Chain A
Amino acid sequence: MTTRATKPDRSADAEIKPVLTVAGLKARLFLKSGVLPAVDDVSFSVMPGETLCIVGESGCGKSMTALSIMRLLPRPVGCITGGSITIDGVGDLTGLSEHAMRRVRGNDVSMIFQEPMTSLNPVFRVGYQISEAIRVHHDVSVAEARDRAIDMLEQVRIPLPAERYRNFPHQLSGGMRQRVMIAMALACRPKVMLADEPTTALDVTIQAQILKLMNELKREIGMSLVLITHDLGVVAKMAQRVLVMYAGVVVEEADAQTLFDRPLHPYTQGLMRSIPRPSARQDRQQEIDTIKGTVPALSALPPGCRFSDRCPMVHEPCRKWEPPLAVPDDMASPPRKVRCWLHTRPPQ
C-alpha cells in the first residue's frame, strides 16, 4: 500500500499484474504401473478480467492443470513436483499447508466441474451448501449467511431464490444445478474461477444460458475465468486467450482471434480441421480431415515431440528432440507461442 502511494507516477499499464501465474508447473501421477507425467512444464498467466481457455482432447492434462492450481490432485497418487502457482496477493500456492490452502479455495480461487450432480452433496439442501461456503470463509451468523446465499441464487438468475434455497440437488434441472455450483463458487468473490467443462453435460440452449451468465458475472464481479473445454465453438465464443494442450504439455498459446485465423501447431490445425464445418456442406460426401491414430498413453510417449507419431508434417528433428514452447522465429508480434520445430530452429 505504502509503496503504491509513494509512486503515483507509475503508468497504469505497469500496475496491472496477472491475478494468476503458473510457471513451469509439473504434476506427476505415481501409479503402481509407473510414474505418469500428467502435467509437464505448463506456464501461463491470467490477467484481471481475462478469459483464458484451455483446450485439448481427453487425457491432455487440462483438468490436471486445474486440479493442481486448486491443490486437489487425487491423493495419494497425484503430486506437484515442480514449478509455482502464484495468486496475486496470496503468493505461491505450491508451498502452502492444507490449512492455509483451505482459506484460499473459494476465497481467492474457486472451481466448478462438469457434472453438477456429482459435485453437489445430494443429502443437503442447495442453499445450505452455498451458505456453508460463506460461513467457512467469513465470520457471519447463520441468518446472514442464508441471506447472502439467497442473494447469490438471485445473482445467478435463479427464479424464486428463497424457495430454491430449500431444494435438494435432485429437485433441480442440470442447468439449475450448474447455476447453483456457480453461485457457490462465486459466493466469496474469488479473483479467479476455474471452470472444468462446465457446459459439456448440458443441452445447447442451456449451454448458451450458462455461458452468457458466466460472461455477465465476470463483468459484474470483475473476476478472471479459466475455462477448460474440448469444444472449439465454446472457445471461439468465450476466450480472449487460448492455451492448446497435448499429452501434458502446452503446444500453442495465442489470443483467440489469432489462433482461429492462423493456427501454427499441426495439432491445433488438425483439431480445427476435424470439426465438421458449414463450408464443407457444399460437398457433404467429402471426408472430414482427421488426425491419424490416437493420443499416446502418458506411459508410452514417443521420443522427441509428443505429437511426432501423429503429425503429418513430421521431420527429422521432431523424433530427436522435444521442441520448446517459444515465440515462432518468423514473427515478433502478436504475442504467441508454439512448441514445434517447424517454427523454432532446431539445434544443429
Chain B
Amino acid sequence: MSVAKKQRKLRKIFGGAMELRPEKGRMHLVGEAKSWDDAVQAGLICAKKGSDIHVVSDVTVKGLEIPPMRVPELRDNALEGLRPDVMIIGAGVTGCAIARELSRLKLNVLLTDKEYDVATHASSRNDGMVHPGIDILPGLLKKKLNTRGNRMYTRLCRELNVPFDRCGQYLCFRQKSVLPLLYLTKPYWLLSGAGSTEVLTKKALKKRETDVSDEAACALYFKSAGSVCPYGLTVALAENAVENGVRLSLDTAVLNMAVEKGEIRSVNTNRGTVYPGLVINAAGVFAEDVAKMAQDRFFSIHPRRGTNAILDKKARRHIVSIYSLMGTQSKSAHTKGGGVVGTVDGNVLVGPDAVETPEKENFATDAESILKTFEKQRHAAPWLTQGDIITYFTGIRAATYEEDFIVEKGRAVRNIIHAAGIQSPGLTAAPAVGEMVAGMVRDYFPKAEKNPSFDPNRKPIVRMAELSFEERAKYIEQNPDYGEIVCRCEEISRGEIIDALRRPVPCSTVDGVKRRCRPGMGRCQGGFCSPLVVKIISETLGIPESEVRKGSEGSRLLMGEKGAHK
C-alpha cells in the first residue's frame, strides 16, 4: 500500500483524527484517537509487515493517561562512574542471552534491570514453548532467528543444565480432507526451517495423544517443537553470564542518557551514572522508551497482553506434548492461537490470548481471558476444566507495528544496538538473538579477545525429588537440609531453598526462590510452605521476617511482630 493510500484509509476510518507523516527513515503517526484500539489499528494500517521503515506513533488517546515506567525507589551510587565496555539494559531472556554470549569475550559487561530479579516481565510470563516457527512469514527476521534459536536449544539447555523437552507439537485439523494436502506441505516445512514433520491420521494421533479431542481429524506433527521453563532458562543464562564475569545490577532503572554528536556519553540510572562504550537495548516493552532516551527512536512498541492458566499436575496425564486445533484460532492475527502445553515441570499450560493494551506493566488478569481461552482450547482438549486451575498470569508482548524483531545497530546513534520488538517467539529466538548481537558487538570491539576462563556449563540447583534413593541419601548425608521437606506439593527441601538464596545470581524474595526451585508452585500455592520459606530467607540472609518480600521493594509480606504496632 502506498503512503497516499494509507493516508486515505486512515481518513476514511478515523476521519482526520490521525495523520501519517512519512519522514526520513520512519513513518510518523500523529493525532488523537478515540480509543487505544483505534490508535493500534491505525498503527497497523500504516505499517508494512516486516518493513525496516517503522511506524513511530505519537498518537494520544483522549482522556487516557498512560502510566509512566515504574522505577524503584532505591537511590544509591553503586554504579557511579562505571565505564563498562557494554551496558545491557534489560535482563529478560534476550538481555541475559546477550550477556552470556558476550561473556565469551574479554569485555567488561554490565547487565542491568529495573526489577528486583531477572525474568520478571515477559520472560516469566509466557507458555515456555520452543516454537518450530510454523506461522511466521519467511523473510522476516524473527523467522530466521526462530529457526536458528530452536536449533540451539538442545545444546544450550544441556550446557546450562536446564530441563528441556523436545516433545514436538501437534497441529490438528478438523477436516479429514486436508490429510493428503498435509503430505504436500512437508517439503515446505523442511525448507522454511520448521523442520521435519509427520502426518498423522486420527487413529495415529489418538495413539500418541489419547485425550485429544475427537474434533481432530488429522494432524501435522512438528518434531522440532519443545517446552522449557522460561524463567528457569533466563535465570540460568544470567547465572552463567555472571559466573563468566558479567556484572549484574538489579533494581537499576535507566532514567535518561546524555547523547552528543550521535553518541551516548553517559547513562543515568537510579544507582549512579554509567559511561558505557556501547549500550544494548533489550528493554522489552520499554525498548522504545530507551531508544527515545538515546535519541534513536525509529520504531514503536504497542504492548499486547496474553493470559495463561496453569493446571494442576493431575491434568498432565491427559497430554504428552503440545497441541492445538486449527480453525479455533482467535480472530486476532497476532497470536499463535495458543494451545495446550505439557510443561517440563509436570503441569499443563493453557493459553495465551492476545489483547492490545496501553499499559506496559499492568499484569492484572481478568475472568474473561480465562473463560475465552478455555472455551477455545476445549475444542482441542475437551478434558480441560477450570477446576484444575492452580493459578493464572498475564504477560505483555513487546510488539512493533511491523510485527518483526529489530536487531540492529543504532540509526542515528553510533554506540547502541537495539534488540527490540522481541515478542513471541522471543523465547525460542533468544539464543540466536544473543549470538547475532554478540556478532555486532565484535564490530565495536574488534580487538576483544576470547575470555580464556569462559565455561559454558552451569551447575543447577539439584532437585532432590528427582534423584534416585541412593543419590539422594548421599546428598542428605553431606547436608541434612536436603532431607528436610519444606514444600510438600513440589517436594522441595530446605537445602534447595538455601541453595537458591546463594546462587551466582542470588535472590532474597519468596518469588525469587519460587522461580529458582519451585516452593509454592504447587497446588496449595504456598499455603503451607510460605511461612517456612519466609523463615528460611530470614535466617539465611539475617533479616527480620517482616522485611522479607514477595518480590519488588514494596511487597513485604508481613507487617511486623504482633503486639509491636499497637
A, B: real partners: no
